[in-house]
Amino acid sequence: MKEAAWTVSNITAGNVDQIQEVINAGVLEPLIHVLRSGDFKSQKEAAWAVTNFTSGGNVQQLAMIVHMGVLGPFCDLLGSKDWRTAVVVMDGLSNILETAEKMGEVDRVALMIEECRGLDKLELLQNHENEQVYQKSLNIIDNYFSEGDGEDLSTVPCQTNGQLDFSITKSVPDGGFSF
């Protein structure tokens, strides 16, 4: 499995057309499966494939991989004991968030990352002994998760029957995510 993920990572390091061939061949679903439940060495290669994909893919391609559910298993690797893997994942997340920002969808993608506990893991990485890990996690949080832009209305408590309700409203449409 590791070798297959490595091969995909080499292809996704190519251009938009090569990335499209990976999509056309139906490789994304198995790649996400490897991220979710493969052995660690295979997951690491799959993380490289996803980050390469996010680096060279176009907006539609990135929207597709996000819609297919890559964020959960991708963010899970932020908790890896291998700091290099965490850096690769943070690079991929930065690419996804940067693209989402250009399309006016950064809040939605940031919420998706937060919902799969990615933000919690990024916050923990701010205490990492490796300077590169610390800086990347700090930059992602500062650029995409800072509260300086005003209140997030989806988490403002509402009063119901005289009591505060801290329910988070669903802000991802039923049809899924799209840039």
Distance CA 38, CA 32 (A): 9
User: Tens digits of per-residue pLDDT, 55-98?
Assistant: 999 999 999 999 999 999 999 999 999 999 999 999 999 999 99
Fold observed for domain 2-165: Leucine-rich Repeat Variant (1.25.10)
Domain ranges within the chain, ordered by starting residue: 2-165
> Does position 152 have pLDDT exceeding 90, yes or no?
no
Distance CA 31, CA 22 (A): 10
Please report the sign of the dihedral spanned by the C-alpha atoms of residue 70, residue 75, residue 80, residue 84. positive
> Exposed, middle or buried by CB within 10 Å (0-12, 13-18, 19+), for 117?
middle
Q: Which residues pair with 163 in a beta bridge?
A: 160
Secondary structure of residue 24 in the 3-state scheme: helix
The radius of gyration of the chain's CA atoms, rounded to the nearest angstrom, is: 17
Distances (CA, A) of 43 to 12, 54, 80, 129, 138: 15, 16, 10, 23, 24
pLDDT band at 178 (very low <50, low <70, confident <90, very high): low
- Angle subtended at Cα 96 by Cα 67 and Cα 109, rounded to the nearest 5 degrees: 60
Give the rounded percent of residues in the chain with a pLDDT score beyond 70: 82
pTM equals: 0.81
Token duo for residue 157: 């408590």
Distance CA 37, CA 74 (A): 11
User: Tens digits of per-residue pLDDT, 113-145?
Assistant: 999 999 999 999 999 999 999 999 999 999 999
